[in-house]
């Protein structure tokens, strides 16, 4: 019985891996396709607020973080938020959720939370790449940053699933797997972020 189950799992592994690679490729292709479309809707609202204190605090190598720019007012009242941006985050967030769902379907259920690990590693790489490019290149539209980070990455990545799956492994009698998930996720996400920063600087050079 055990040998038969093992053979069945081994036979499904290549298909699951191929499905995961296809899903990841679709996600990256979707992001690449959305870049020129979102760039066209990057008009700055007529109402531009002053964020003097924030721009003084959030700086890096003489450049202002995109979230501290005057046209991106984090302290704006709800009535002042452009509906265009709300709908943009809404649509991009839904797309990210669907992409995460497809990755989970492609990988399938396993004894280790591989699907959650994959989306968090890919998300760590992409968000580091996008935000570093925004720091180094002033021409990256605010709407594009919002759609890809708060929207798509917010829906694609998931800390809550990582937390639940880790604690469930520990309480179900698999503490080694739970601790391994914590270690792999933390180290892997950090390494993926470093690769994203490095690639962004190469692209902006």
d(CA 2, CA 16): 20
Flag whether pLDDT at 57 surpasses 50. no
Q: Left (φ > 0), alpha (ψ -120 to 50) or beta: where does 140 sit? A: beta
Task: Give the pLDDT of residue 142.
Answer: 87
d(CA 33, CA 27): 10
Give yes or no for a contact between 131 and 66, defined as CB atoms under 8 angstroms apart: yes
**Per-residue pLDDT reduced to its tens digit, 174-198:** 999 999 999 999 999 999 999 999 9
Backbone angles phi, psi at 157, to 5 degrees: -85, 160
Task: Give the pLDDT of residue 60.
Answer: 41
d(CA 152, CA 94): 7
Give yes or no for a contact between 124 and 82, defined as CB atoms under 8 angstroms apart: no
Task: Give the pLDDT of residue 9.
Answer: 41
Highest mean pLDDT among 34-43, 69-78, 169-178: 169-178
Domain residue spans of the chain = 2-45+82-204
**24-38, 41-55, 82-96, 157-171: least confident range:** 41-55
d(CA 71, CA 47): 8
d(CA 38, CA 35): 5
**Per-residue pLDDT reduced to its tens digit, 111-143:** 999 999 999 999 999 999 999 998 898 888 889
**30-39, 48-57, 87-96: least confident range:** 48-57
Task: Give the pLDDT of residue 28.
Answer: 52
Pick 166 or 67 by higher pLDDT: 166
Flag whether pLDDT at 63 surpasses 80. no
Flag whether pLDDT at 13 surpasses 50. no
* Model pTM above 0.75: no
Backbone angles phi, psi at 171, to 5 degrees: -75, -20
Beta partners for 63?
60
User: Cβ-count burial of 133 within 10 angstroms (0-12 exposed, 13-18 middle, 19+ buried)?
Assistant: buried
Q: Which residues of 150-185 are buried (b: 16+ CB within 10 A; e: fewer)?
A: bbbbbbbbbeebbeebbeebbeeeeeebbeebeeeb
Residues in contact with 47: Cβ distance below 8 Å, sequence separation at least 6, in sequence order: 80
Give yes or no for a contact between 80 and 47, defined as CB atoms under 8 angstroms apart: yes
């Amino acid at each position: 019985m055990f040998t038969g189950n093992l053979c069945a799992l081994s036979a499904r592994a290549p298909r699951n891996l191929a499905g995961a690679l296809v899903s990841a490729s679709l996600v990256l292709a979707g992001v690449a396709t959305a870049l020129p479309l979102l760039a066209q809707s990057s008009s700055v609202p007529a109402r531009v607020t002053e964020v003097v204190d924030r721009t003084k605090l959030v700086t890096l190598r003489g450049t202002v973080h995109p979230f501290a720019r005057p046209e991106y007012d984090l302290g704006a009242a709800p009535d002042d938020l452009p509906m265009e941006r709300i709908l943009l985050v809404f649509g991009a967030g839904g797309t990210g959720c669907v992409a995460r769902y497809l990755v989970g379907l492609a990988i399938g259920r396993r004894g280790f939370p591989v699907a959650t690990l994959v989306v968090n590693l890919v998300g760590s790489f992409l968000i580091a790449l996008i935000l570093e490019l925004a720091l180094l290149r002033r021409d990256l539209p605010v709407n594009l940053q919002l759609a890809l980070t708060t929207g798509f990455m917010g829906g694609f990545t998931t800390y809550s699933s990582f937390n639940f799956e880790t604690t469930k492994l520990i309480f179900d009698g698999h503490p080694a797997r739970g601790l391994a998930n914590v270690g792999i996720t933390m180290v892997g996400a950090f390494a993926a972020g470093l690769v994203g920063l490095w690639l962004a600087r190469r692209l902006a050079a």
